[in-house]
Amino acid sequence: MRKYLARRLMLVIPTVLGVTMIIFIAMRLLPGDPLVAIFGLEGARRMTPEQRANLEQALGLRDPVVVQYGKWLRDIGTGEFGKSLLRGDSVTQFVLRRGPITLEIAVLATLLSWMIGFPVGIISALRPNTRMDYAGRFFSILFVAIPGFWLGLVAVLTLILWFDYKAPILPVYPWENPWQNLQMVAGPAVVMGLGFGGFVARIVRSSLLEVIQEDYVRTARAKGVHEQLVIARHALRNAILPVITWSSLFLGVALGGSVAIEKAFGVPGLGLTMIDAILDRDLPVVQNLVLLYVVVFVVVNLITDLSYAWLDPRIRYD
């Protein structure tokens, strides 16, 4: 286990470094002028060449590309992650202020997908080709097929028309006001949780149908073990591995995919910050938030791989 963990950690460094290169090059290839985003089209046109040169020099936009990349790596190493071109705040402050909201939405959506997907998948697997199975498969396919951003827009319109919903302006944390925080994150979490709950239900159903045909499950039943214990201790524990894999992927997708959902609900999380920074062409904010998503995705997948050995004793790492 220790050797495997050391090898995986050694692979994280070149992976993250390669991602920083891709992000940096992609940000420089995007069309647009940062000064236009800051001062507007008319303001940028009124600038003299000297003023433009001085502003670009102050923002570091006139430095060679290699120098800009080196400064970014230095900022990453110091933990500052650079500063916003428009607001002057460091990216670290953005993450500390709005990161907990996005993380809360992603975790709640993942838990909700389990609460929906596991019962539906188990019932469908234990009662195949029945009305309950058909109903579970229908709703799972339905929520998988519906785009999350469209479902979010429908939910927002419903809340506005029926409950006079107003998008929050500033993030509200659970330790400050639990009720307001729940009202703010419940909508995005439910929308994303329903979508992935359909995936979980289908994965649980297919995995459980395969596992209950194994010899060790038949042996447990032949010994007179209660059916609920057979499913809980023997079948479900082995059938859960694909769900854990998909859940780790979904957690990363939820952190990145919350961009559209947060925009639909107006939730002041990292997703909304990302959209605003892209529209303003605020390069330091965009590239650092993308890097943050990548790092979280890598760490979550590492934790998932290490959890396999605990869930299935047959798995060993050399």
Q: What tens digit of pLDDT does each residue of 94-146 get?
A: 788 888 888 888 888 888 888 888 888 888 888 888 888 888 888 888 887 77
> How far, in whole angstroms, is CA 5 from its chain's centroid?
24
Give the pLDDT of residue 10: 77
Give the pLDDT of residue 44: 65
Condensed to tens digits (0 to 9), the pLDDT of residues 201-246 reads 888 888 888 877 777 777 777 777 777 777 777 777 777 777 777 7
Residues in the chain: 318
Q: What is the mean pLDDT of residues 148-160?
A: 71
Distance CA 73, CA 128 (A): 55
Is the Cβ–Cβ distance between 298 and 16 less than 8 Å? yes
Q: What is the mean pLDDT of residues 18-22?
A: 84
Q: Which CATH class is domain 91-311?
A: mainly alpha
**76 DSSP assignment:** H
Quote the tokens at residue 221. 């039943």
Quote the tokens at residue 166. 């107003």
Model pTM above 0.85: no
Residue 311: half-sphere exposure toward Cβ, Cα within 13 Å: 18
Condensed to tens digits (0 to 9), the pLDDT of residues 67-77 reads 878 877 887 77
Helices (H), the chain: 2-29, 34-45, 49-58, 65-78, 91-126, 131-145, 148-163, 178-211, 215-222, 227-229, 236-265, 270-279, 283-311
Delimit the domains of the chain by residue range.
Answer: 91-311
Q: Who has greater pLDDT, 35 or 70? A: 70
Vertex 94: Cα angle to 113 and 56 (nearest 5): 130
Give the pLDDT of residue 142: 83
Give the pLDDT of residue 314: 62
